[in-house]
Structures are given as structure tokens and as C-alpha cells.
Amino acid sequence: MRKLLLPGVVVVAAFAVSGCASVTPAWKIYDACARQTTTFVDMVQCGKTQRTATCEKAQNCSTLGDAFVQYADGLAMQVQNHEISEGEARTRFAQYKTQVISDVRRDQTVAAAGIAAGAAASGPKTCTAIGNTVNCF
């Protein structure tokens, strides 16, 4: 019985960690904008506008998404001020996005493993009564 319950707990844990499945992560919104625009600054403006509209509508603007927007805005400002090139901004943005996605996946895996381990530790037990003694495993 324990083995049948554990996969279900992992699935529930994955949804619990990722939040509402209908909210699109900020980086996916920015990826869509990258396909629709030609400059980095335009992509950032599109991403910020679309992400804000999406998360405010769902009333679920995450701090991670807010930080993602702020990082992109900072890079766009540096491009506009001619402090870095468009290519450098795209490179830094790609590195940041890769790190954020990696961190999110790691956190989801750790949380799911912790929930699954807790469920296994407190999961169903088999109890056997022998006389006045009850042993549960």
C-alpha cells in the first residue's frame, strides 16, 4: 500500500511547490516576447508588460518573477545608456535565466523529496496485535 501512495504524494508535492499551474513563469513570457521583437530593450518592455498583466490578472505576482523583471530592466537600462552592448545584455540575460530555471527545478526537487520522505515516514502502517501488545510497522 505504501508504494501506491508515494507517487501520488510526489505529484501533489510538485504542484504545491510550483504553485498554481495556470500562472506562466516570467521567463516563458520573456521568451515569447523575444520571438516577437528585434531588440533587447523592446523584448524587455514587452516581457514586463505581458508578465505584469498576466500575474496581476491571476493575482499571483511572485517575488521571483518580480526579481526577474528587475534584472531584465537593469540590463535594458544599461543598453540604453550605452554601458553594455545588446549582445552583452542578451548573454547576461541568458545566463541569469538559466540560473533561475536551474534554481527553481532544484527547489522543486528538494521540496518534493522532502514531502515524499515525510509521507513515507508517517505513511500507512501495518499494526499487529499480539495479546495486549500492538506493534505497528
pLDDT of residue 5: 37
- Tell me the average pLDDT across 108-112: 84
DSSP 49-91: HHHHHHHHHHT---HHHHHHHHHHHHHHHHHHTTSS-HHHHHH
Average pLDDT value over all residues in the chain:
80
Burial of 87 (0-12, 13-18, 19+ CB in 10 A): exposed
Q: What is the pTM of this model?
A: 0.67
User: In this predicted structure, which of 7-21, 50-64, 96-110 has the lowest mean pLDDT?
Assistant: 7-21
Kindly list the domain boundaries of the chain, sorted by start residue.
2-136
**115 vs 72, higher pLDDT:** 72
pLDDT tens sequence across 44-100: 999 999 999 999 998 989 999 999 999 999 999 999 999 999 999 999 999 999 999
